[in-house]
Structure 1
Amino acid sequence: MLDQETPPPHGGTENSTATFEQLQTFQETDNYPEGGWKAWSVVFGAWCAMIPSMGLLNSLGILHAWTSTHQLKEYSESSIGWIFGAYGFFLYFAGAQAGPIFDVYGPHYVIIPGSFGMVIALICFSFSEEYYQIFLSFSVLGGLSACTLFTPAVSAVGHWFNVRRGYATGIACTAGGVGGVIFPLIILFAAPKIGFPWAIRIIALLSVVMCTLACFLLKARLPANLKSGATVDFHALKDPLYSVTTVAVFLVEFAVFIPITYIASYAIHVGVSDTIAYLLIAFLNLGAIPGRFLPGLIADRLGRFNVMVLTSFVCAVLTLALWLKSGDNLAALVCYAVLFGFWSGAAISLTPVCISQVCATQDYGKRNGTTFTIVSIGTLTGIPVAGAIQQRDGGDYGDLIIFGGVLYLAAAMAFAIARGVCCGWSFKTIF
C-alpha cells in the first residue's frame, strides 16, 4: 500500500510524528474495498453529482464572456468577476457545514437538498437580468447547492478507496471536464437560436437527471463520526501536516480559476470570433477530462504531493511561456487551452486526496470542508483581483496572465514544502 511505504516525517515535532503514525495505523488496520460493484457505483454516483456542480465551475469562462457582453455589459470586469468568484467561494465555504453533516449522517442529508437547490438556482438564473439577480441565483444559491453536491461526492469516494483513492477520485472528477464541455456547447449552439434563458433551462434538466442518479448511488461505508461538529475546525490547523497542506491547496485553487475564467474573454479581446472564443472553454475541458484521472493514477504510484508539485509547475510554465506570448495566434491559444486543461486537472481531483493523506478517514469530511472553507477566500478574491488588474491596465491582459502564472509557481513551491514537512526531503520518497 502507498501509505505503508511512506516513511514518517523527518525533523518534525514529536506531536506531528505521532499524528502521522496514528494515520498510518488507521489506514493499515481498516480494510478498504478498493473496488467491486458497490465501490464503483459510489464513484459513478459522485461523478453524477459533480456534473452540475463542477461542470458549472468549469464553465465560468463562457458564462463570464456571455454576461459581460449581454446582461452585464455596462459593468466593469472586476464587478463581473465578483459574481463568478462568489460561485467558487460558496462552493468551498459551505464545506465546513456540509462535511461534518456527511460525517455524522451520511451523504443523503446533504445531497438531496443540494439537488433541489441546484435546479432551483439554475431556473432562477435563467430569468435573471439584473446584477443582483444573477448574483443571488447563480453565485449564492448555485454555489451553496454545488457545495452540497461536491463535498459528499468526494468524501464518499474516500470511504471506499485508500490505495487507489487518487485514481477513483480522479475518475469521479472527470465529471467537471465533461460538464465543462457539454454546458458551453449548449450555450454556444442553443443560446443564439432559442435564447440564453432556455439554454440554462436545458442545463437544469440535465442536472435533474444527474442529481437523481447521485441521490440513489452515493453511500457512506464507515461508521458515523458522532464527534464531528458542524463548525470550521480551526483547531486542526495546529497539526503541522494538515496546516501546510491547507496552505498549498489554498494557493493552487487561488491560481486555477484565473485562466479558466478569462481565457475566452482574452480571445475576444485579441480579435477571435465569439464562437471560437467560447469553444476554447470546451477545448480546455476536453483536456481536463484525462487530466483528472491520469494524474490520479500516477499519483497512487509516485505520490500525490509529488504529482501536485509537478502539475503546478507545468501550469506556471504554460501560463507564463505559452499564454503570455500567444497574442492573437489561434493555434497557440487552442494549444494552451488543451494543455492547461490537462495539467490543471489535478488541482481539482488531487487536492482532496492530499487532504485525506494527512487525516483519518472518519474525519475526512470535516477536514476537507475546513480546508476548502479557507480556500474559498482565494476563489472569492482571485477572479475579481485579476479583473481589477486587467481593468487597471486599460483592458490589456499581460499583467493578469503574469499574476496567474506567479500564483502557480507559488503553489508548486508550497506543495514541495508541504511534502518535505510531511515526509522528509528525500526526492525518492513516495508521498
Structure 2
Amino acid sequence: MDPEKQSDCAVYKTVIESETQPAEDSVVLSSDVDPRLEFPAYTRYAVVAGCFVIQGLVCGLLNSWGVQQQYLVANVYDNEPSKKKTLSYIGTLMFFNFYFWAMLAGWLAEVWSYRKLCFVGIVIMALGQLLASFCKEPWQLCITEGAIFGFGVGLLFGPSSTASARWFTKRRGLATGIAVTGAGAGGLVIAPLTEYLVHSVGVEWNLRISALYVMVLGTIACCFMRVPFQDKTRTLKNFDWHAFGNLRFAANGGMVFFVAAAFIVPYAFLPEFWVSKGISSQTASVLIAVSNGASLFGRVLAGFTADHLGVLNSVILILVITSFSCCVLWPFATDISMGVLMSIFYGFGTGGYWALSPLVAAKLFGVDRLASISGIVSTTSAIGSWIGSPVANAILNRPGHGNDFIAVSMYAGSLWLAALVLALLNRTLYAKKIFSKV
C-alpha cells in the first residue's frame, strides 16, 4: 500500500465495542477495515467540497454585513443616531452567536450527525434572513439577523471547518485549507452581490434572495457532509471537561478570545472608513470583496505551510500579518491603492487564521474529538465577539472624534497583537526549540 494511504488509514483503525448502529452519514470501522474499500475514492474530496460551500455561505454573509450596515446608516437611518448605534450591535450579535453555540454544535456533530446538524443550521440561517426581510426597526434586525441567523451559523461553522480534517492525516493542513477557502470565495461573490442588490431591489429583497440561495446551495452541500468514524456511545455525561484545566487550552482559548473581538472590526468599519475618505460605497464593497478573495489564498497557503513548517509556527506568522495590517496599513489606507493593500493583507491573514484554527486544536488535543474541543474554545471566547464592534463604535463616536479612525485601527491591532502573544506562549509550552516543526 502507498505510504500516504497507510498514514491516512491509521487514524480510522478504531474498534467500537458497542451494538449501537451508526448514523447514515457515518460508518463504524474496525481495525481490519480499509476505509478506501468502505467508501468510494472520491468520498473525502466530496466532503471537502461540501465544507467549501457551507463555509462560503456562512462567512460570505457574515463578512458582507458591513456593506448592508453602511447602506442602512447612509440611506435609512442617517438622521437617527440611536438607531445607527443599534445597528452596530447586529454584527456583534452575529459573531457572538457564531462563537457561543460552537460547543453545542461540536458536541452534537460528534454524538449525533454532522449531516443532520448542518441541515438544521442551514434552515435556521435561511429563516433568519427571511424574517429579517420583514423588519422595519434595527432592534428587530438584532433578533432576526443577530440572534436567529447567528444561531444558524453557530451550528454550521464548527462542523464544516473540522469535518475534512477527519479524512486526512499527512495532508490535513492542505485539505482543511482548501475546505475553508469557501469562506473567502463566498465573500468574494456575496459582498458585491449584496452591494448590487441593496441598491437595485432594496434591503428587503436582498435578504429574501439570500435566504433562497442559502437554502438551495446549503441543502446540496449537506448531502456530502459525513465523517469516517463517529462514536455513538458518547453522551453529555462523559463529555471531556478536563480540557478546562489544561494550560495549553487556556492559552489557545485566550488567543481565540482576542481574535473573536478583533476579526469583525475591520469588516464592519472599513466600508464606513473608506466612504468618509471620499471612496464610493460601490468601491468600498469591491475592496471588501478583494479582502475576501485574499482570504481564499490565505486559507490554502496557510494549510500548505502548516504541513511543511508546522501548525503552531504557521499561526504565529499569520497573526503577525493581521497585526501589521491593522496597526500599520489601515491608518494609511485612505486611497484605493492603499485600500487594496490593506484588504489583501487583512484578508490573507484572517483567512489563514481560520484555516489554521481547527488544526491548532487538532495539534494540541488530537483529532478524535476535534469538533467538541474546538467548540469549547469558541464558546468560552464568545464574550470576545461581544465586545469587538461596540467598543470600536464607542471609540469612533466619542465627542470630537469625527472621522478619525486611527484609534479604531489601533484598537483592532492591539487585539490581534494580544492573540499573537498567546500563540507564542502556546508554541513555547508545546516545544521550546525555536526551529522545530510544530
Structure 1 residue 55: Cα displacement:
1.3
Q: Does 1:263 align with 2:270?
A: yes
Q: Distance in 2 between matches of 1:71 and 1:32?
A: 56
Cα-to-partner distance string for 1:66-103 (whole Å, 9 max, x where unaligned):
22223444245653221101101101111111111111
5 Å-filtered alignment, 1:50-69, equals 50-69=55-74
Contact 1:103–1:228 (Cα < 8 Å) also in 2:
no
Q: Distance in 2 between matches of 1:405 and 1:241?
A: 24
Q: Distance in 2 between matches of 1:121 and 1:308?
A: 33
Q: Does 1:282 align with 2:304?
A: no
5 Å-filtered alignment, 1:113-192, equals 113-192=120-199
Contact 2:102–2:379 (Cα < 8 Å) also in 1:
yes
Q: Hey, what does 1:95 align to over in structure 2?
A: 102
Q: Does 1:343 align with 2:349?
A: yes
Q: Does 1:406 align with 2:411?
A: no
Q: Hey, what does 1:23 align to over in structure 2?
A: none
Cα-to-partner distance string for 1:373-394 (whole Å, 9 max, x where unaligned):
0222111211111111111134
The letter of the residue matching 2:409 is I
Does the residue aligned with 1:345 lie in a helix, a strand or coil? helix
Q: Does 1:385 align with 2:391?
A: yes
Aligned length: 406
Structure 1 residue 32: Cα displacement:
8.3
Q: Distance in 2 between matches of 1:426 and 1:79?
A: 49
Cα RMSD of the aligned pairs, angstroms, is 2.4
The letter of the residue matching 2:135 is S
Q: Hey, what does 2:361 align to over in structure 1?
A: 355
The letter of the residue matching 1:333 is G
Q: Distance in 1 between matches of 2:192 and 2:261?
A: 26
Q: Distance in 2 between matches of 1:60 and 1:215?
A: 24
Contact 2:12–2:35 (Cα < 8 Å) also in 1:
no
Judge which range, 402-411 or 157-166, deviates more.
157-166
Q: Hey, what does 1:22 align to over in structure 2?
A: none
Structure 1 residue 62: Cα displacement:
1.1
The letter of the residue matching 2:150 is G
Structure 1 residue 238: Cα displacement:
0.9
Q: Distance in 1 between matches of 2:260 and 2:125?
A: 22
5 Å-filtered alignment, 1:212-361, equals 212-224=219-231, 226-229=233-236, 235-326=242-333, 328-361=334-367
Structure 1 residue 230: Cα displacement:
8.7
Kindly tell me: are residues 157 and 28 of structure 1, through their superposed partners in 2, closer, same or farther at Cα, counting changes over 3 Å? closer
**Percent identity (aligned):** 26
Q: Which runs of no fewer than 5 residues in structure 2 stay unpaired? A: 5-9, 15-33
Structure 1 residue 214: Cα displacement:
1.9
Normalization by structure 1: what TM-score? 0.88
Contact 1:252–1:312 (Cα < 8 Å) also in 2:
no
5 Å-filtered alignment, 1:15-54, equals 36-54=41-59
Kindly tell me: are residues 382 and 57 of structure 1, through their superposed partners in 2, closer, same or farther at Cα, counting changes over 3 Å? same
Kindly tell me: are residues 374 and 32 of structure 1, through their superposed partners in 2, closer, same or farther at Cα, counting changes over 3 Å? farther
The letter of the residue matching 1:287 is A
Q: Hey, what does 2:202 align to over in structure 1?
A: 195
Does the residue aligned with 1:276 lie in a helix, a strand or coil? helix
Structure 1 residue 362: Cα displacement:
2.5
The letter of the residue matching 1:48 is V
Q: Does 1:420 align with 2:428?
A: yes
Structure 1 residue 310: Cα displacement:
0.8
Structure 1 residue 46: Cα displacement:
0.9
